[in-house]
Each structure stands twice: as structure tokens, then as C-alpha cells.
Structure 1
Amino acid sequence: MSDYKVLFLDIDGTIIKPDDTIEETTVNAIRQVQEKGIEVFLATGRPLHEIRDLAKELNVHSLIGYNGAFAIYQGKDLFQEPMNMESVKQFIDIAKKNQHELVLYTKDQNLFTDLETDCVKEFIEKFHLHKNDSYSPSEDYEVLGMTLINLEPKDVALYKQEDQIHLSQVNLEGMFHCYDVIRDQVNKGIGVQYVLKHLGHKKENAIAFGDGMNDKEMLLSVGEGFAMGNGHPDLYQYAKHKTTSVTDSGIYNGLKTLGIIE
């Protein structure tokens, strides 16, 4: 067996099933990995202030959030990369002109352009977001990430204002109209690379599981990248392995093929 040191796990569609539950095999797999001394990171597009309970439930103390803009290792801040506010304001202006909604994630809050629209209420309910407020143009925020809401596929082209930013469709049933804003130089893959360098591990020592296109860079940044069976069709070309779906012990089965767990 290779000398695996760290495991990176996406949350939605990878750990959490569509009905918002977690399979016992997933919990068991994470526990077995930890017992072998392998460090587990949750690596998500979600803001870190909204996943504390899940991390506690899984006994995980290392996190990468906001699609790679903020990381915590063993409970201590590792790095933080806020977005350029000019870029943020451009996206807000485009959203406003096209009747799209947008959520800005800071270290402590989720700031929505309009909290009263049905699509925003649905988004908040789906992702169990609690620290919500309205965005105020007069405030000076440090924005770590953004998600656009209520887009048609054709609308993606409206936001191609910068070469260094692209949109990634949220890979969840009922949420396909939502797109994460991903920076080319700040994403899950860059976050993983930073963590590996900080811990003194090589790419070959790392494993990752994901299901969405925001996981692409992460899967390419580890030695053993697994795309979930329920993953976005375009993701498989970037993964070394394809495992079963989140509802069919995907993480457990993937780790078993590596000989890490029983």
C-alpha cells in the first residue's frame, strides 16, 4: 500500500446524499482512515461558518472552504484569499441587470442580493444556511466566495468578464440554476497544493473525492482522485478513478479499492 497521508473530501453530493443524510458506510470509512493516521480535510464550496456542526459530527478538524479561499488545519487558520472587490462589484452589476440573485460569502456571513425571492429562500433551505443578511453596497466586505442563483445555461456567457474567473454549475438536483464563481488561482486544487506543501507531503500521498466541476482542480492535485458515480459528466476525464455514487457507498468503495479500509 502506498504511503497515504491526507484525504480531501467534498461535502455535497460526496459525503451528503440528496436527502441531506450521510450513509453509515461513509462515517465508518472516515473513522477507519483517521484511525490509520491519515489527516482528513473537508473541502467545499460552502462557507466554513456553515459546516462546523458537520465537521464536529465527523470529528474532522481541518477544512478548506469557499472553493479554496480559506483553510483551517487542526483548528488553526492556514490561509485566506479574499476576492478583488472590483470583480465582485462587476458580478453584482451584471446580476442586477439580468434579474439574477447572488450570495457573497465572508468569513462570518452569507450576504444575499435579495433575501425575499423564492430561489434564494430555496437555496438557503437546501444548504441549511443560518448566518444570512442582505448585501449593502455601502459596506466594505472581505468576500471569500460567491454563488450566482437563478441562471439559465445561456446566461453563463454574461459573466465572462475576466480571464481569471469562471463559473462552475452546482451539481445538485434542483440547484442546477446555481453557479459557483471560481478563480483560476484560488480554487480547491490550489488549496490542496498549499496544504500539501505546508504539511510536507507529496501529491502521491494524497487522495480526494468529489462530484462537481468545482472539484476538477482538486482531483488533479492529488495522486488518487475519485469522481463520484453521481458526478457531473464532464468531471470524469479529470479523475484517475470513478467510484460508486454518494447513495451507494462511494467514498467507502473507493478507499477500499486502495486497500486503506476493510
Structure 2
Amino acid sequence: MIKIIFSDMDGTLLDEHGNVPAGFDEIVAELEKRGVMFAPASGRQYYSLEDSFMKYKDRFLFLAENGTVVTYKGEKIFTCPMDKQLAQQVLKTAEPLKRVYGVFCGMKNGYVLTHQYTDEFLEELHKYYTHSEPIPSFIDVPDIPVKVSFFDPTGHAAETIYPVMKPFESKLQVVLASDHWVDLMNPGINKGVAVKEVQKRFGIRPDECAAFGDYMNDAEMMEAVYYSFAMGNAYPEIKKLARFETATNEEHGVLLGIKRLMKEGLI
């Protein structure tokens, strides 16, 4: 029987407006009645996830920053901080890129250079970093980095950001998180590693877990569970990787997938 369900947020659980689908609360109530934990797993910072699920903040398990920070009932049960100097080097490398925005993703806040703290970027930034602040330089950031992220408003991150960051692959993991975002984290850290840490912590087997995802930063999470679901709108490689497929995020595919598991007696 399934004991925990991991779900990506953007392009997976959330609709095109960034909203949780209608009927979500009813599904959560049924899951809790059956003793199943729900775990948002996202590239977003913890506080963004907490804000999205405020009434569940002491009931959900949160995998934030692509698995570099895992929090349960307000306690960080797993973290994987980056070397600060390396994070600063990565951010400096991207400075010549036009209209590419960098984020120093810290334990406390997301930090953005003051001159990039513009309306164009803030609208996007606040989807993922509800706790953020401008800073004149990345040299003296009063925080510990867990991730570095870059945003391309044109939606061509694979062409504009990824090739520039690729040389860091010998030291860091470089992940295309969406058409707009590229994330860099410690090597070997991802949502899948976080899922395995959770499984170890709670004594849960892979065949007692389900996961829903749509993009390449969900790949390892899919591999860490048995009941892996690709969204109907998922990246082709994720569809190949997943054991099952559900409807698109616009069609509330996560809820439909959970209902399917309930119907089949797996929850």
C-alpha cells in the first residue's frame, strides 16, 4: 500500500495560473483518512511551498529547492548546502548574459542583485521565492547557498543559460528545470536523493511511494519510487522514464492519478 505521494508543483499539480486544482482539499482529506502523507517536491524555496499550503504546513512533508532542503513540521530533516565561493563564481559567470537573472538561493532567502530586482523579474521570482531581497553584490550574502538559479524571460534557457553553465558540470549538477530556468546544485543531489532520505527516515519502501512530475528535474524522483506518473504535458524523456501516465496539469492529472490509485486499492 502507498504511504506517501510526492508531487512536483509547476506544470504538475498547479494549473497554468499557478493555482491548486479544485477538489484538492477533498483528496487530501481522504489521503489523511487512509494514512497517506502528501509531499510537494519542487524547485521552489521552502517558504514559497509553505505559503502555498499554509493550512497544511504541519501536515505535509516539503521537498524544496529541488531536494536540497527537506522540511517536516517546521524541522529541516535534510539539507545539502553549496560551497559559497563556488556559488559566487557561478553567478559571476552569468553576469555578461543579457536579460538573464541570477538568484543566490539561500537557507533563509532568495537574493537578487539590486539592479535586477525589477518588475519584470519580480513577478516570476515571487512564484518561487516569496522570501527574497535585493543585494548590491553576491560577495557578502549573509546566508548559506543551497542552489543557484537563472531565469530567462524569453523561455530559451536551454540555448542561453545551459551552455554557459555546462562547464561547471565537473563540480556541480546543472539542471534544465524548465524552458525558463536552469538550476545548479551540489553533484549527486536531486529530488530523488531527497526522496530516498525520506524513505530512510520514515522506513518506507519505494513500492510504498508514488510520484508525479513533468520535467527533467523530476527524473530521479521518478526513479526513486515504483508508482511514477508522468503528466500528459510532461517532457518526452519523463514520459519514457515513468511507469504510468496521467492527464495534463490543466486536466488535474495529479488528482486523477491519485483517484486511480485509490480505485485500484493501492491507497
Query: Is this a same-fold pair by TM over 0.5?
Result: yes
User: Is residue 29–residue 261 contact of structure 1 (8 Å, CA) maintained in 2?
Assistant: no
Q: What is the aligned partner in structure 1 of residue 66 from structure 2?
A: 67
Equivalent AA in structure 2 for residue 105 of structure 1:
C
| 2:91 alignment partner, SS class | helix
Give CA deviations for 1:167-212 in whole Å, capped at 9, x if unaligned: 33343xxxx2322224441110000000001111111111111112
- How far has the Cα of 1:229 moved from its partner? 1.2
- How far has the Cα of 1:118 moved from its partner? 5.6
Q: What is the aligned partner in structure 1 of residue 44 from structure 2?
A: 46
Q: What is the aligned partner in structure 2 of residue 200 from structure 1?
A: 203
Give CA deviations for 1:29-69 in whole Å, capped at 9, x if unaligned: 23221221011111111110222122224564321111111
1:162 aligns with 2:161: no
User: Is residue 25–residue 249 contact of structure 1 (8 Å, CA) maintained in 2?
Assistant: no
Distance 1:125 1:198, change over 3 A: closer
Greater mean alpha carbon deviation, residues 3-12 or residues 193-202:
3-12
Q: What TM-score comes out, normalization by structure 1 length?
A: 0.87
The 5 Å alignment of 1:19-98 reads: 19-58=17-56, 60-98=59-97
- How far has the Cα of 1:91 moved from its partner? 1.1
User: How large is the RMSD of aligned CA atoms in angstroms?
Assistant: 2.3
- How far has the Cα of 1:25 moved from its partner? 3.0
1:110 aligns with 2:110: yes
Quick one: distance in 1 between partners of 2:265 and 2:83? 41
Greater mean alpha carbon deviation, residues 207-216 or residues 51-60:
51-60
User: Is residue 209–residue 227 contact of structure 2 (8 Å, CA) maintained in 1?
Assistant: yes
Distance 1:62 1:12, change over 3 A: same
Q: Which consecutive aligned stretches of 4+ in structure 1 deviate over 6 angstroms post-superposition?
A: none
User: Is residue 110–residue 129 contact of structure 2 (8 Å, CA) maintained in 1?
Assistant: no
Distance 1:52 1:222, change over 3 A: same
Q: 1:136 aligns with which of 135, 138, 143?
A: 138
Greater mean alpha carbon deviation, residues 195-204 or residues 155-164:
155-164
Unaligned stretches of 5+ residues in structure 2: none
User: Is residue 32–residue 261 contact of structure 1 (8 Å, CA) maintained in 2?
Assistant: no
Structure that is richer in helix per residue: 2
| 1:214 alignment partner, SS class | helix
Quick one: distance in 2 between partners of 1:131 and 1:62? 22
Distance 1:65 1:86, change over 3 A: same
User: Is residue 164–residue 185 contact of structure 1 (8 Å, CA) maintained in 2?
Assistant: no
Q: What is the aligned partner in structure 2 of residue 123 from structure 1?
A: 124
The 5 Å alignment of 1:235-254 reads: 235-254=238-257
Quick one: distance in 2 between partners of 1:240 and 1:183? 28
1:191 aligns with 2:197: no
User: Is residue 9–residue 42 contact of structure 2 (8 Å, CA) maintained in 1?
Assistant: yes
Q: What is the aligned partner in structure 2 of residue 9 from structure 1?
A: 7
Equivalent AA in structure 2 for residue 220 of structure 1:
E
User: Is residue 49–residue 107 contact of structure 1 (8 Å, CA) maintained in 2?
Assistant: no
Unaligned stretches of 5+ residues in structure 1: none
| 1:50 alignment partner, SS class | helix
Equivalent AA in structure 1 for residue 102 of structure 2:
L
Q: 2:147 aligns with which of 145, 162, 186?
A: 145
Give CA deviations for 1:203-251 in whole Å, capped at 9, x if unaligned: 1111111112111110110111111112222211221111101111211
Quick one: distance in 2 between partners of 1:74 and 1:128? 20
User: Is residue 206–residue 226 contact of structure 2 (8 Å, CA) maintained in 1?
Assistant: yes
- How far has the Cα of 1:26 moved from its partner? 3.2
User: Is residue 182–residue 214 contact of structure 1 (8 Å, CA) maintained in 2?
Assistant: no
Equivalent AA in structure 1 for residue 147 of structure 2:
G
Quick one: distance in 2 between partners of 1:39 and 1:170? 25
Distance 1:41 1:162, change over 3 A: same
User: Is residue 101–residue 116 contact of structure 2 (8 Å, CA) maintained in 1?
Assistant: no
| 1:248 alignment partner, SS class | coil
